[in-house]
Structure 1
């Protein structure tokens, strides 16, 4: 298996969520210290040093892109899974959300002719004419045939935050809304949700990649979440890390393809 060996933090270029986190910390009036940080956390994977998983990070080529619109402190949370999307999908952008302002770079990305953006959100909250459930059957499919690549716009935050971002972001109102109807339940174990039907951000991104025909990327992202979860919970619960777990073996097999 081929693993990516991450360079030291001081020499490595950060991905989109890494960079957003740095900007958010720089703008903060007081330092943000996550629980369990006493032993020191890896700057790249956010895990305590003893459970660092940077050497396992998969590299997967994708045609599709992901745009993360993130709640105020999402990029600061060690359990945030939008970070995992940026780990795997090279064409990932991350923008902080504000009710009163919008990043001009976000508007430029949404208007970039090489991309066809899809806002990913439950169809029950949207006018029926905006909803698509299958990229090949959407009105935008002919545009994709002429070279535009799918760009999945994900609202990364708690469910209440995501609904607020959806309602109060008029610059997203013109986008088609991709409504997902997965036939499986969420396996996310790092935070509790009020609804069992809710998926974490990396699970949603994996579902989107699968719809776009990016099967290997979708499976690699799902495996990356499972390995991250294994390391995260092992450190949190102070139990011995099983580096031969099913999750590790699945990621290993995917990396060998």
Structure 2
């Protein structure tokens, strides 16, 4: 399994970015790719072209793929506004099957404005993916790291 974090460049400078936690906890699973509008990453395009890749992105319709049945998951690592920009300006993402997660709890990450109801931060999304893919031990390690991160960032 591979989780590709398609990351907006501004996210790299934010001390509140949680994608880095997942990358540190599970470097063998989580790969960060900085989004470049005009130069898509070759390894990401290769994963897309090989199939078995899904985009975790909210849907308005009922055409949802079960995340458990995919080996590669692309997650947009950005603010909600930046994530929409990445999606809208990346034609290679448009035809991917899309999945969404149904979290069991509300987000514990309350630092960003304009967070939609039910929205999760990057680390929380990755925890949900890991649980769905039966990687509960890694999900628990990420949850512990996220708890420490969250308490530090709030203080």
Both structures adopt the same fold (TM-score exceeding 0.5): yes
- Alignment-derived partner of residue 178 in structure 1: 99
Distance 1:221 1:193, change over 3 A: farther
Tell me which of 124, 137, 152 is aligned to 1:216.
137
Tell me which of 159, 164, 167 is aligned to 2:88.
167
Query: Once superposed, what is the RMSD of the aligned Cα atoms?
Result: 2.1
- Native 8 Å contact 2:67 2:129 kept in 1: no
- Alignment-derived partner of residue 17 in structure 1: none
- Native 8 Å contact 1:68 1:153 kept in 2: yes
What secondary structure does 2:9 align onto?
Answer: coil
**C-alpha distance in 1, partners of 2:66/2:146?**
24
Consecutive unaligned residues of structure 2, counting only runs of 5 or more, are none
- Alignment-derived partner of residue 98 in structure 1: 36
- Native 8 Å contact 1:119 1:154 kept in 2: yes
- Native 8 Å contact 1:190 1:229 kept in 2: no
- Alignment-derived partner of residue 121 in structure 1: 57
Deviations 1:176-199 (A, max 9, x none): 211112231100033333423211
What secondary structure does 2:33 align onto?
Answer: strand
Give TM-score scaled by structure 1 length: 0.54
Post-superposition offset of 1:95: 1.5
**C-alpha distance in 1, partners of 2:118/2:84?**
15
**C-alpha distance in 2, partners of 1:106/1:217?**
23
Give TM-score scaled by structure 2 length: 0.86
Alignment map for 1:1-257 (pairs within 5 Å):
64-90=1-27, 91-111=29-49, 116-124=52-60, 128-129=62-63, 131-133=64-66, 135=68, 141=69, 150-234=71-155
With a CA cutoff of 8 Å and minimum separation of 6, indicate the structure with the bigger relative contact order: 2
**C-alpha distance in 2, partners of 1:208/1:103?**
22
- Native 8 Å contact 2:107 2:119 kept in 1: yes
- Native 8 Å contact 1:110 1:117 kept in 2: yes
Consecutive unaligned residues of structure 1, counting only runs of 5 or more, are 1-63, 136-140, 145-149, 235-257
Post-superposition offset of 1:105: 3.0
